[in-house]
Amino acid sequence: MTIAVVPGSFDPITAGHIDIIRRAKDLYEHVIVGVVINPGKKPLFSLEERVEMVKDAVSWDPTIAVDSFTGLLVDFVKLHNAKVIVRGLRAVSDFEHEFQMAQLNRRLNARIETVFMMASPEYAYLSSSIIKEIAMYDGSVKGLVSPNVEALLRKALA
């Protein structure tokens, strides 16, 4: 069985993230969404809230697992016996960063491959940062995040 990990901070999870997860599930038998604790970022939502948001967002497929981690992504991937990391790319600027990370991960564990998926055109501009900024200024994020996430954003930013 091929296991793939879709990692991210998911602060919050967006329609673009869900699109990548759904497409990864079409390619791999088992998908694990890894919610990372990134000490370099100051998230709006707690780890527990982000994990719950992701679980809610992928509840359409009970075979998709959700777990959290800190530390090296390759260690998380190895822990779950996965062989593939799936990363979404929106623009060339994403590619530069993701290419560097993929090369480092390959150096750390050559048995793990990174697969890049281009964002679907309707989500190519979408990021968690943009979602938070729109919500902060009371703009509509309808259709860009789930109704549950929209409500949580409004509450967190109130």
Which position among 22, 23, 55, 90 bears the catalytic label? 90
90 included as an active-site residue: yes
97 included as an active-site residue: no
Which position among 41, 46, 59, 154 bears the catalytic label? 41
Which position among 9, 128, 132, 146 bears the catalytic label? 128
- Is the bond leading into 12 cis (omega within 30 degrees of zero)? yes
Which position among 17, 25, 87, 132 bears the catalytic label? 17
Report which of 137, 21, 140 is spatially closest to residue 150, judged by C-alpha positions. Answer: 140
Q: What is the 3-state secondary structure (H, E, C) of the chain?
A: CCEEEEEECCCCCCHHHHHHHHHHHHHCCEEEEEEECCCCCCCCCCHHHHHHHHHHHCCCCCCCEEEEECCCHHHHHHHCCCCEEEEEECCHHHHHHHHHHHHHHHHHCCCCEEEEEECCHHHCCCCHHHHHHHHHCCCCCECCECHHHHHHHHHHHC
Residues with a known catalytic role? 17, 41, 90, 128
